[in-house]
Amino acid sequence: MMKKKLIFAIFAMLFVPGAIAQNIRNNITLELTGGLSPFTYKTNIGDRRGMPGTSAAIKYQYNIDWNWSAGLGVELKMYQSSTRFDTFSDYYITEANSLISGKADEMRFSYSYTNLEERQRALYINIPIFTQYRFDNGIYIRLGAKLGMPTKSKSEIYFEELKTEGYFALENVTYKDLPQHGFGTYYDREITKRYNMAMNVSICAEMGWTWDWNEQYMLYIGVHGEYGFANLYKRTNLTPQLVYTENGFEYTPVWNADVVNGDGRVAITNDKIGTFAIGLLIRYSFGF
């Protein structure tokens, strides 16, 4: 009798856990991440800074066996960065109506900022696909790729102080204190502009630890990284960051703006806008 019980116990230890694990092939996972999710680009002037980002996802995972699995899902992810300038100055030649004759005249428009900042934000819907290997001790490694589609994107421009002036060659006069005509000092403004973002393609990786409540429910805690290959913004003709018009100012987001540099003008940023992400994640999985 004891011999039969011993054989049954050995059989259960060897075969039953594996059988249970392989019976649960399908998993639905809910996921949250947090960390840095900046846009990647280079600046010719100014200071680019990455900003915190987050994501939420629901994914389907198929267990090939106890160790290997694969899946796909839907993810909502926020990317954001900022470009900051302690001071920013520029000038250019344009045409404006003379304040004396009312006729078109050549004008040198100059402007300077104190504490100028632009924040770029974009919300993407990503479609991730992945393969995962889980070690017997609970540590896992996951590799995959994502296809991203932009939903909302914007540029938020802030400044502490803006000074503008216009020099009219025909009149030989510089106007500095006519705010009704766009010449003067302005304080603490916030302007929102829109970016038309492109689709994104990125690779991603994770490493972490899993904790099983039982064969059906599992908790993941780990670190993740992502790198995007696509150019997310195709800029058109470069224009000054602040464009003078008879009806007021037009603010140009920095990805599409240039500034005077010596005898010519130079783009504020390069023309390659990508993404990068690194941070922590938590995932809850239930099998069926």
Alpha carbon 248 to its chain centroid, in Å, reads 31
pLDDT at residue 102, as a whole number: 67
Q: By the 8 A CB rule, do 104 and 98 touch?
A: yes
Residue pair 105/171 in contact (Cβ under 8 Å)? The answer is yes
d(CA 132, CA 66): 11
Local confidence band at 203 (pLDDT 50, 70, 90 cut-offs)? very high
Q: Is the pLDDT of residue 2 over 50?
A: no
**Residue range 99-156, pLDDT digits in tens:** 776 677 889 999 999 999 999 999 999 999 999 999 999 999 999 999 999 999 999 9
Q: Compute the mean pLDDT over every residue in the chain, rounded to the nearest whole number.
A: 89
CA distance 54 to 277: 9
Predicted local confidence at residue 170, as pLDDT: 81
71, β-bridge pairs: 61, 130
Q: Tokens standing for 108?
A: 């040198």
- Pairing of β 68-97 and β 104-134: antiparallel
The DSSP result for 92-118, as a single string, is EEEEEE-TTT-SEEEEEEEEEEEEEEE
Strands 248-251 and 26-36: unpaired
Give the ranges where 44-189 is alpha helix by DSSP (H): none
Averaged over 72-81, what is the pLDDT?
Answer: 97
- Mean pLDDT is highest, among 6-10, 140-144, 215-219, 261-265, for 140-144
Convert the pLDDT of each residue in 152-201 to its tens digit: 999 999 999 999 999 988 888 899 988 888 899 999 999 999 999 999 99
* 167 half-sphere exposure, CB direction, 13 A CA radius: 8
State the pTM of this model.
Answer: 0.85
- Tell me whether residue 4 is exposed, middle or buried, using C-beta atoms within 10 angstroms of its C-beta: 0 to 12, 13 to 18, 19 or more: exposed
Record the tokens describing residue 153, joined without a space.
Answer: 């994107």
77-109 burial by CB neighbour count: b if 16+ within 10 A, else e? Answer: bbbbbbbbbeebebbbeeebebbeeeeebebeb
Tokens standing for residue 216: 């059906």
For residue 159, give the amino acid letter: F
| Distance between CA atoms of residues 256 and 134, nearest Å | 45
Number of residues that this document lists for the chain: 288
Burial 197-207 (b: 16+ CB within 10 A, else e): beebebebebe
The dihedral of CA 174, 175, 177, 179: what is its sign? negative
Query: From CA 163, how far away is CA 267, in angstroms rounded?
Result: 22
